[in-house]
Each structure stands twice: as structure tokens, then as C-alpha cells.
Amino acid sequence: MRFRKYYKIFRVALIERLTYRSDFLLTSGLRLLPMVTTILLWSAVYGLDYDKEIGNFRLTEMIAYLLLVHISRMFSSMPGLAAGIAIDIREGTLKKYLLQPIDMLGYLITYRVAHKIAYIVTSFLPYAVLFFLCRDYFERFPDAQTLAAYVVSLLLAYVIGFYFEACIGMIGFWMLEVTSLLYIVNTLNFFISGQMFPIDLLPRPAVRVLKLMPFQYMAYFPAAVFLGKIRGEALWQGLLAEAAWALGLFLLARTLFHFGLRRYSAYGG
């Protein structure tokens, strides 16, 4: 019965996502443009020297990394989640979750799964074309164990991305306006998660600090796993740390929701 409730949420969210197809297709198509410019920029930086290494990445590995980061972000990015939660809190519309036999975080994570599946299915073709055209940048396909670790890291990236954004959104129980905080967090995240370039290119002290934080798991870590940059014991330690962050953010989100509801007055809505 409980599963059926969340299945219906999933189905409705999927239909809603596919209703405005032209907006979706235009965005999916334009998402290829930054990838093209990124490949060309780094080719220019390396001067087409395929043996040159920058931060332990050769040209082919750098471009493969930047392509794989898009896959990581496909799983970990949650556009509008934090802002949506903050708006629900501020405008009182959060009460719709409280009046129904449904858990808000359970609803939202199911809703996002549907959106992610819709996004992956509908953008599969342009990404497949792009990866096919760039197949020469992938020197080798990872073995079964590395591939399994990669898949696990992507699933955990989804959990981390969701609960991180949910926690930011639930700061709205204590602060009237979280949009500005969200801008700062997203802007920083774009850099420190490794979306612009591998965080290994930064100075060593910065790299040591950033690798202790959860942001790397939203972009850098899965891509580095696929490329074989993180192997053996470091790989299992990394996955364990990622799982720990996922669990920690899950618990934090639940705690914030519990204590936030105590303060919530449900004005408006």
C-alpha cells in the first residue's frame, strides 16, 4: 500500500516532466554546447600534446573526466529543490504534506527519481551521440569491479545531492530568505565539487581539505573512479566515506525536518 502511494507520485511526476517537451528538448540540446567548448578549451590548453600531464591528467583523461562529470551531475544535481522547500515553508504550503499521510522528504525524493529518469531517458540520445563522437578520449573501459563501484558512487551521489539540497532548503524554518545562501552554496559547489576541472589541479593543501568534504562526491569522485584514478584501498575508503556522508546528510535532513516542524506555524497557504 505504501509502495503504491509512492509509485503514483513517481508516475505523475514523470508525466508532468514530459508535458513540456519543447522546453525540455531545447535545454537538453543546449546542454551540449558547454561540453563542446570545454573540450576545445582544454585541447587548446594542452596544445594538443597527448603526453603532457596537468595535475596527473593527460589531455584524453581530462576531456573524459569533464564528460563524465556531466553524468555525475545528472545524478547529483537537484535544481529547484532547496528553493522549493524554502518557498513551501515561507508561504505555508508545507501543510499539504502534514495534512496527508505522506512524508515530505519521501515524496520529494520519489518525485526527483521520476524527474531524473525522464531526464536520463530523453537526453540519452544526444549524450550517446556525444560520447560516441568522443569515444577516442576513453582509452580503456573499466573492469567489472570498477564499473560496479562507479554505479554505486553515482547512486550515492544522488542521495548526497538530494539530502544536501534538502538541508539547505530546510534552513527556511529558521531563516526567512534562503535564496541568497543558496546562490553562494551553488556557486561554491560549482568550483569545489570539481565541475570546472579536477580538484587535483588545485594546490595540495586545498585538495586535502576539499577531499574531506561531501562536494567532491557530486562531480569529481564518480568520474575519477571511472577513469581509474582512485583504485584499490583508496576506492573502498572513498566509497565508504561517500556512504557515510549520504547517511549523515540523511540524518541531518530528518533532524532538521523534525525540529523545523516544531517552529513551523503554517501561515498562509
Partner 1 sequence: MGNVFRYVRLWFAFARFALLGELAFRGNFIMKMLVEILWLVILLMFYRTIFASTKLVAGWRQDQYLFFVGCYFALEGLIETLFLENCQDFSNQVRTGNLDASLLQPLDEQFLVSCRKIDWSTVPNFLMGAGVMIMSLAENPEWRFNPWQLLIFVAVFFCALLLAYSFLLILTSSAVWMIRNQSLMELWWLFSSLMRYPREIFQSNWAWPIGWVFTFLLPVMLVINVPANVMVRTLEPENVLFIAVATVIMLGVSRWFFCRALRRYRSASS
Complex with partner 1: residue 3 or 20, whichever CB lies closer: 20
Which three three-digit cell numbers place residue 196?
570546472
What is the phi/psi pair of residue 58, to 5°? -80, 170
* 184 binds partner 1, rule: CB under 8 A: yes
Beta bridge partners of 53: 58
Q: Which residues pair with 57 in a beta bridge?
A: 54
- Should residue 56 be labelled a site residue for partner 1 when binding is judged by CB under 8 A? no
Q: Up-side HSE of residue 6: CA atoms within 13 Å toward CB?
A: 14
The three three-digit cell numbers of residue 38, written as one number = 570545454
Please report whether residue 41 would count as binding partner 1 according to CB under 8 A. yes
Binding mask 199-218 for partner 1 (x = CB under 8 A): --xx----------------
Helix, strand, or coil (residue 263): helix
How many angstroms separate the CA atoms of 6 and 4, rounded? Answer: 6
CB 144 to partner 1: min, Å: 33
By beta-carbon proximity to partner 1, the closer residue of 19 and 265 is: 19
Nearer to partner 1, 10 or 190 (CB): 190
Which member of 4, 99, 136, 180 binds partner 1 (CB under 8 A)? 180
Query: Cα–Cα distance between 157 and 214 in angstroms, integer?
Result: 9
From 138, 141, 126, select the one nearest 64 (Cα to Cα). 138
Interaction of residue 191 with partner 1, rule CB under 8 A: yes
Please pick, from the candidates 145, 187, 237, 255, the single residue that binds partner 1 as defined by CB under 8 A. 187
Give 139 or 177: the residue with its C-beta nearer to partner 1.
177
Judge whether 119 and 21 are in contact, CB under 8 Å. Answer: no
Chain centroid to CA 52: how far?
30
Least distance to partner 1, CB of residue 129, Å = 13
**Does residue 118 interact with partner 1 by CB under 8 A?**
no
Binding site for partner 1 (CB under 8 A): 19-20, 22-23, 26-27, 30-31, 33-34, 36-37, 40-41, 43-47, 54, 79, 177, 179-181, 183-184, 187-188, 190-191, 196-197, 201-202
